[in-house]
Amino acid sequence: MKNNKTKRDIATTSIYGSSEEMRTAPKTEIPKYPTEPRIAYQLVKDEAMLDGNARLNMATFVTTWMDEYATKLMTETMDKNMVDKSEYPQTAEIERRCVNIMANLWNSPEKPNCTGASTIGSSEACMLGGLAALKRWKKARKAKGLPTDNPNFIISSAFQVVWEKFSHYWDVEMRTVPISAKKITMDADDVIKLCDENTILVVPILGVTLTGLNDDVKKINDKLDKLNKKTGWNIAIHVDAASGGFIHPFVNPDLIWDFRLKWVYSISTSGHKFGMVYPGIGWIVWKDKKYLPDDMVFQVNYLGSEVGTISINFSRPGNQVLAQYFQLIHLGFEGYKTIQTNILKVCKYLRDRLVKLNFSMFSKDLPNPLFIWTLKPDPKRNWTLYDLSDRMTMDGWQIPAYTLSKDLEDVIVMRIVVRQGTGIDYANLLIENLQRHIDILNKLEKSTESLLAIRRNEIIKPRIFHH
């Protein structure tokens, strides 16, 4: 009887033999009774399997692979709350070290301790950079008895969505410089034309999300310098280096885009992109403490002394900061340089292979490890890049197809981002899959729905990937 009871218990409480397996997963109300942790784990894990494979996601900039020791470190420290600096003083100290390391990578003149902070991602870092500029502008205007009700900032029309949020959240007009077939990055002369006494900031992008290209930060800085001298304005620059901030210090150190430029007051980057940390971690650094308004800094007690905190978010895990420090220690300058060089080589290899498949590249330049391409005109073709994107998902690959920003809305492109973990064999598998689906699409005798919709001038809503 004892043995039979044991077998019966095992049969009724094993994961797929449990009563929970026969119930609909709770969607609106908490379940009345508990579920064994191993069963709850499997139920949630099974649902998560329906997500796309992160390693096959060629759309995302976000890190999808880390060393096993990094994963171990993050697992062991996930209970640390980054906002509680008095309770976790060493994590706060490590955050300070990371800020200093990144500030020095970006040629900060502020020594020895630099001004900056970790954030939940580069989007929060952008918000902080923009907010600091807004407060500096308001303070200067009030000191002169001037109105402060019409601030604006200037950015490429290929902006990342966080800047639109910044515009809405803080009531700052966003003035966009259109990119076009002739001007594929933000033109410095066009920037100057949009500036006025209410301009709080110009935001060049190092690694534009939609195209992978860099705005010419130095040229914009030099034009702004002349304008500021002529007018007495103090229009500064925040560099949105979400992607490029962890690329160019290692592979292109002679590119002048950072704190070496007079009007670059702040820089933001994403640690969970090419900083090679799982999401979410971002960083912001100011050139000097004086460019961070005092009322943005909140004081907390830290080992008996007051320490300033800079954030919009509150509670968040501290383990991403520790993981960033791990990567900086583990890889070092040469390690980052080797990896970034390799992914740029793989990116060029992929781009060259796609050219042989008769695609047209948006730009001949490849400053960052991502690129976009278009279809060459062919009246006999019965499909679009939307169809190719959809077919690639059948094999698990995620490669977005989308239209470009204002003034290029009719240009449909696909984008590939190459990250750590993408080697030549992986790239060859991707090309083989692309070729197979292209061959299938080329055999179509009738136009696809997406092509018919385009001919009817209908708007197609693609699956767009911002990160």
Domain-by-domain residue ranges, the chain? 2-51, 72-328, 340-455
Indicate the pLDDT class of residue 465, thresholds 50, 70 and 90: low
> Would you state the structure tokens that stand for residue 272, as one six-digit string?
């969970």
Indicate the pLDDT class of residue 67, thresholds 50, 70 and 90: very high
Instruction: Report the range of poorest mean pLDDT among 88-97, 226-235, 242-251, 335-344.
Output: 88-97
Indicate the pLDDT class of residue 4, thresholds 50, 70 and 90: very low
pLDDT of residue 194: 99
Indicate the pLDDT class of residue 59, thresholds 50, 70 and 90: confident
Strand order in the sheet with 359-361: 359-361, 370-375, 412-417, 401-403
Residue 432 has pLDDT above 70, yes or no: yes
Instruction: Report the range of poorest mean pLDDT among 5-19, 146-160, 375-389.
Output: 5-19
pLDDT of residue 124: 96
Query: How does pLDDT run across 195-207, given as a tens digit for each residue?
Result: 999 999 999 999 9
Checking phi first, is residue 357 left (phi over 0); if not, alpha (psi -120 to 50) or beta?
alpha
pLDDT of residue 304: 63
User: For residues 388 and 373, what is the distance between their CA atoms, to the nearest angstrom?
Assistant: 12
CATH fold for the domain made of 340-455: Aspartate Aminotransferase, domain 1 (3.90.1150)
Indicate the pLDDT class of residue 463, thresholds 50, 70 and 90: low
Residue 311 has pLDDT above 70, yes or no: yes
Most confident option among 22-31, 37-46, 336-345: 336-345
pLDDT of residue 52: 83
Length reported for the chain: 467
Query: How does pLDDT run across 162-210, given as a tens digit for each residue?
Result: 999 999 999 999 999 999 988 999 999 999 999 999 999 999 999 999 9
Query: How does pLDDT run across 110-125, given as a tens digit for each residue?
Result: 988 899 999 999 999 9
Give mean pLDDT, residues 221-235.
Answer: 98
CATH fold for the domain made of 72-328: Aspartate Aminotransferase; domain 2 (3.40.640)
Give mean pLDDT, residues 299-321.
Answer: 81
Residue 249 C-beta-side C-alpha neighbours within 13 Å: 23
pLDDT of residue 467: 57
pLDDT of residue 458: 79
Give the rounded percent of residues in the chain with a pLDDT score beyond 70: 94
pTM of the model: 0.92
Q: Could you write out the DSSP letters of every residue in 277-317?
A: --S--EEEEESSGGGS-GGG-EEEEETTEEEEE--S--S-B
Residue 442 burial (CB count, 10 A) = 12
Give mean pLDDT, residues 361-367.
Answer: 95
CATH code that applies to domain 2-51: 4.10.280
Burial zone of 300 (CB within 10 Å; 0-12 exposed, 13-18 middle, 19+ buried): middle
Look up residue 408 and give its amino acid: L
pLDDT of residue 3: 45
Residue 5 has pLDDT above 70, yes or no: no
